[in-house]
Amino acid sequence: MRSSVFGPVSDEATIWETNALTTVLPITGGYLAIGDLEVEDTNPGEWIDGTAVHAYKLDANLAPVTSYGTDGKLQLPLPPGYLVHYPSATRLASGKIMVIAEGWPEGEYSLMKFVLMRLNADGSADTTFGTDGWRLLEVPYSASPAESPLYTANAGRIFELSNGQLIVTGSSARVGYSRLGIVGRLSAEGVVDTTFGPNGNGFLLVQPVGAGYGAWLEHAALDSAGRLVVSGSTAIDEGGAYYDLFVARITLAGAGALDSSFNGSGIKVFSIGAEDSWSTGLRVDGNTILVGAARSGGLGAVVRLESDGDLDTTFDVDGIADINPDGLFTTSRANVIIPSGGGYLVAGSLGGRRAIVRLNSVGALDTANASMGSTGYWRTALSNGSTYMGAIVDEGKLIAVGAWVTSSAPAPIGYGTNTNESFVLSVFPLASDGGSGSTTTTTSSSSSGGGALVPWMLLLVGLLGLRRR
């Protein structure tokens, strides 16, 4: 069914008992949604209790493939005795799927590690990988052997390089110490490459401000030169009460290093005019960097940086475009930025509802494109509870995912067990100008990230930045 304006005809969804689904991958004949699910509940309301990673297989019409696992749902292979959550995934050149998540021995939340899982192209577990399809990965907190391995690890993204090696990103912390961003390089089989990083341990640490100032590394993407771009938030006071945005660029050849051609140090820290702000999405368009940003309790924004790290002042004067069509909203999120028709489609939320906003090339609301109607944005009709929206792009489709919370007092998205959360997936066919949308909806995930309108490039999304705040 096609609609004359961008947006789904219906917003109905089936409630699944999932905590958060964070990745949707197109596969032959349909889609594979990957997320975490509470599999036991010995302590009701404890968000870290009994979680495991599951995959949900959908056909081209977004109906469950009931022959997959149990009624379309399959628990992925996990280390015995481990609880695992917040997965992200990428499709490999071989067609297989690599999943990264964070996990810990039950009852030992402070001993968190990265967990890698590999699936075959059809979504079944690849038991030839590691131990029965999984591998544990310890990541460092600092250069000092006495401070490795870390005490907690928060998994971010995973990428495959052209030579088959893997790049992983995330954050790490020791109890009582500030948090650091981390980037690691692995072999195709998930073994740490100790030639990467300055300390021979396979990892490079990202600390935007300095010792004692914590940082969350939340999003990552590869640019056209094969460099890794990461975004997140960093404390700007030693107590960690206030956060600003940061973007860093890292060269991946040899031992890897912060790219000094980016802002002189490889890291750019900047404010969007709020006491607390953080990255909600990242998109690299050639060498142009676009960051989805959020302010605590306020408006989201899209920030555009030039290749050298400077704010692009041709974009909404100061490089920061607020997401507030016609000045009607007090809250918004910018989770996904997709170049389209000379401007950008921004998926996120407006006033607590899932939304897509079209901006022109200079960051202003674009009301001239008929596909979005005269308002320049689409917003779901649902008004009960908080909703967020993310998307991936694959061969001309915008695959939009979001959460619909019906509880009058819901837990934050991705935290706790809230049976009133529905996870909605909608598929919008995109014309070359971002054309009109047609959709079906079913359960899926809360997500964030960005995508390129290139058939062979798949962008993964997850609300990895929003999940912890």
d(CA 426, CA 442): 7
The pLDDT, as a whole number, for residue 315 is 95
**Which one, of 281, 287, 295, 289, lies nearest residue 324 by Cα?**
295
Please answer whether residues 385 and 404 qualify as being in contact, where contact means their C-beta atoms are separated by less than 8 angstroms.
yes
Instruction: Name the maximum alpha-carbon separation found in the chain.
Output: 62
Phi, psi at residue 257, to the nearest 5°?
Answer: -170, 155
d(CA 8, CA 402): 13
Q: Using CB atoms within 10 A of its CB, is residue 451 exposed (0-12), middle (13-18) or buried (19+)? A: buried
The pLDDT, as a whole number, for residue 4 is 27
Per-residue DSSP letter, 361: T
> Which stretches in the chain have pLDDT values below 70?
1-21, 37-50, 141-152, 174-177, 211-212, 238-241, 370-371, 373, 381-469
**Which one, of 15, 32, 72, lies nearest residue 406 by Cα?**
15
The pLDDT, as a whole number, for residue 301 is 93
The pLDDT, as a whole number, for residue 160 is 95
Residues paired with residue 424 on neighbouring β-strands, in sequence order: 402, 443
d(CA 111, CA 107): 9
The pLDDT, as a whole number, for residue 384 is 46
**Which one, of 338, 341, 337, lies nearest residue 291 by Cα?**
337
The pLDDT, as a whole number, for residue 362 is 94
The pLDDT, as a whole number, for residue 134 is 96
Spatial neighbors of 154 by CB under 8 A, at least 6 apart, are 86, 102, 112, 170, 171, 172, 216, 468
Q: What is the pTM for the complete model shown?
A: 0.83
Query: Mind giving me the DSSP string for 319-359?
Result: SEEE--GGG--S-EEEEEEEEETTEEEEEEEETTEEEEEEE
The pLDDT, as a whole number, for residue 469 is 41
Residues paired with residue 292 on neighbouring β-strands, in sequence order: 281, 302
The pLDDT, as a whole number, for residue 437 is 39
For the chain, list the domains and their CATH numbers: 20-468 (2.130.10.120)
The SS3 assignment for 370 reads helix
The pLDDT, as a whole number, for residue 34 is 84
Q: What is the CA radius of gyration of the chain?
A: 20
